[in-house]
Amino acid sequence: MIREKNTTSFFDISFLKKCEHLAFVAKKIRRGERSGEHYSFKKGFSLEFADYRTYQPGDDIRYIDWNLAARMDKLFVKLFSSQEELTIHILIDVSRSMGFGNPLKLDYAKHLAAALGYIGIANMEKVVCASFSDSIKQTLDPGRSKHHVFSFFKFILGLTEEQKTGIGASLLEYSRQARMPGLIIILSDFLDEKKFERGLLSLLYKRLDIVLLQILDETELNPDHLGELIMTDTETREHKKIDVDIDLLRLYRNNLAGYFHTIGKFCLKHGIEYMRTTTALPFEDLILRYLRQGSHLR
């Protein structure tokens, strides 16, 4: 699929070719405007036989399997799978906290977004992309042609850090402008003091399947510095001097674990797929191995 030289700035060709064998799956399958590579199941003309069901009054008699009826002494109609378009929405957190780490969490998120978008486009799905911090910042119009991958990569490459975080407000804003149901993948560290559950619920209301990919730096998960430390808020640039001891580290880890548990519990309750990773994990492994263990990538 890749032909132009500048599109290889994210990956090598061998990785992209592996991505072309993957495809997204939506738990809630809906009709699309145009035919794509995403399968849904309904009766009617189609590309591939799927199953049988008992004939019901009003069913089109053209779909009755008369050979099966002769054997079973009962009428059955054929069901077919038809290929339909799935819209993939990719949201990237570009708030200043994403500019932390080695590698930067934002760079990691951009690589993930590019790979996930490429998978969608390779399967002829519509792919939409937007960046957010305390609001939606930039949006790339949907596209599904193979040429769209070049515009998509250029858009991703051009994303830069913004200011404060406002995940909940951003998700609410995006839900108001989202016109196409489908699958939405949100890439963020989700380090926000304000609650964002209402924003997620608004996306569900707009008939979007949600995947949360929480991206953290290893030092955010397992800080090990002891002694005097000057902390700098990455977004407000405020400084605070603290004395770190074993008890404070334990309290930090307990609070962080509690925060993860709260997110996970909410997602489980509402059928949202939630995965947490650090930038220490090669993004190729995340795409080709771990995300495939979820329910939306095969």
pLDDT for position 45: 39
Q: Encode pLDDT of 222-265 as tens digits.
A: 888 887 877 766 666 677 788 888 988 999 999 999 999 999 99
Q: Which CATH architecture has domain 5-27+86-293?
A: 3-Layer(aba) Sandwich (3.40)
- The pTM (predicted TM-score) of the whole model is 0.79
Q: Encode pLDDT of 164-193 as tens digits.
A: 889 999 999 999 999 888 999 999 999 987
Q: In whole numbers, what is the pLDDT of the chain averaged over residues?
A: 83
- Ordered by start, the domain boundaries in the chain are 5-27+86-293, 38-84
Chain center to CA of 112: 9
257: phi then psi, degrees, rounded to nearest 5? -60, -40
Q: Encode pLDDT of 143-159 as tens digits.
A: 877 778 889 999 999 99
Does the pLDDT value for residue 8 go beyond 50? no
Q: Encode pLDDT of 28-61 as tens digits.
A: 544 333 444 444 444 343 345 656 777 777 677 8
- β-bridge mates for residue 38, sequence order: 84
**DSSP secondary structure string for all residues of the chain:** ----GGGGGSS-HHHHHHHTT--B--SS----SS--SEEEEESSS-SEEEEEEE--TTS-GGGB-HHHHHHHTS-EEEEEEEEE--EEEEEEE-SGGGG-TTTTHHHHHHHHHHHHHHHHHHTT--EEEEEESSSEEEEEEEE-STTHHHHHHHHHHT----S---HHHHHHHHHHH--S-EEEEEEE----SS--HHHHHHHHHTTEEEEEEEEE-HHHHS----EEEEEE-TTT--EEEEEE-HHHHHHHHHHHHHHHHHHHHHHHHHT-EEEEEETTS-HHHIIIIIGGGSSSB-
